[in-house]
Structure 1
Amino acid sequence: MTIKRILIIVGDFVEDYEIMVPFQILLMVGHKVDVVSPGKKAGEKVATAIHDFEGHQTYTEKPGHNFTLNGTYSDVKADDYDALVIPGGRAPEHLGNNESVLDLVRTFVSANKPIAAICHGPQLLAAANVLSGRKVSAYPACRAEMTLAGAEYQAISIDGAVTDGKLVTAPAWPAHPAWMRQFLAVLGSKVEA
């Protein structure tokens, strides 16, 4: 397997599972993974939130763990990375207002590099205006944003994932096995079943 350099972009109140699980899986299979947040340096932390599905009309939110960043956002250059991961939670809402983040996302898309986005993560892709004509999944409450961004929203089960070329999306953290399996396949990583 060729080791890939993967960038994960987060912000405060990223969904706890959606940062920690992919980070650990990608490290486990041998990839180099940098996690960055605008305005923060390596060693600083982002707050996380736990979104849970407890039978209400939408998810509930609880405080999560703090996640220690291992990269500095201002040092990031898309050319140094092979792929991008965008976790969900509330972070994509405010990251989508940061023009440097949107430019970074657009650079990955223009270079046709693999991108994995989950839950509210596709909001950042919509804000970057890079979803037109793409098949995507996202948390169901994001459906209107996906459609308005020109995407073909895929209403799949909460534990499913969708691959469209080098873009892999999923509706929420219960999809981690399918989402990461499909993303690893796009990366060319071998995982035993």
Structure 2
Amino acid sequence: MTGKSLVMIVGDYVEDYEAMVPFQALQVVGHDVDVVCPDKEAGDRVKTAVHDERGAQTYSELEGHELPLNATFAEIDPAEYDGLVLPGGRAPEYLRLHDAVLETVRHFFEADKPAAVLCHAPLILVAADVLDGRTCTSYPGIAPDIEAAGGEWVDEVTVDGTLVTGRLYNDHPEWLREFIEVLGTEIEHGDPVTAPTD
């Protein structure tokens, strides 16, 4: 299998699981993932947030880990990447205010490249004006934003062409499976290894 080159755009208080799990899982199946953040460089870190439903009317937010960046946003060329990953959390609220982020996102949609978008990250797609006529999902509280941007919101992991969207990190297994399929990833399984016996 030939791995794809992917870029994940994050920011401070990106959702911990939504960044860490795809970053690692996509590498496990052979892809290269550059993690970038506007105004930060390779070697810098972003703070993550852990969101949890604890019986209140909305989620709670706790400080998570620090996620190291392995590339510099200002130096990336979107044309060199095969796909885009946008995790959710608090970060999309302000990432959508960066013109360079919106230009990068538009490149992937105009070139019809695979994009995996989760939870609150469709806020970035709304700001980039790429959802008109598309079907997607998100954290339910983002549904009105998607619909106001001309998109159709559904309450399940959704594939619309090369766009794969999920509601929150509980969707990881299906969301990642669908994205891996859209990327054209072929996973080869060898014979199981068994421990020697005496």
Q: TM-score, normalised by structure 1?
A: 0.96
CA shift, 1:103, in A, is 0.5
- 2:80 maps to amino acid: D
CA shift, 1:2, in A, is 2.3
Percentage of matched positions with identical amino acids: 50
Kindly tell me the number of residue pairs found equivalent between the two proteins. Answer: 189
Q: Which runs of 4+ in 1 moved over 2 A?
A: 190-193
Aligned twin of 2:195: none
CA shift, 1:192, in A, is 7.0
- 1:42 maps to amino acid: A
Aligned twin of 2:77: 77
Q: What root-mean-square deviation, in Å, do the aligned CA atoms of Structure 1 and Structure 2 show? A: 1.1
Which of residues 174, 182, 187 is equivalent to 2:183?
187
Which whole-Å deviations, capped at 9, do the CAs of 1:122-161 have from their partners, x for residues lacking one? 11111100001111000001011010111100023xxxx1
- Correspondence 1:170 to 2:166: yes
Structure 2 residue runs without a partner (length 5+) = 190-198
Structure 1 residue runs without a partner (length 5+) = none
**What is the CA–CA distance in structure 1 between the aligned matches of 2:56 and 2:109, rounded to whole Å?**
36
**What is the CA–CA distance in structure 2 between the aligned matches of 1:10 and 1:105, rounded to whole Å?**
13
Aligned twin of 1:130: 130
SS of 1:65's equivalent in the other structure is: strand
**What is the CA–CA distance in structure 1 between the aligned matches of 2:145 and 2:90, rounded to whole Å?**
15
Aligned twin of 1:115: 115
CA shift, 1:191, in A, is 4.1
SS of 1:49's equivalent in the other structure is: strand
Aligned twin of 2:62: 62
Which whole-Å deviations, capped at 9, do the CAs of 1:155-177 have from their partners, x for residues lacking one? 23xxxx11000000000000000
SS of 1:130's equivalent in the other structure is: coil
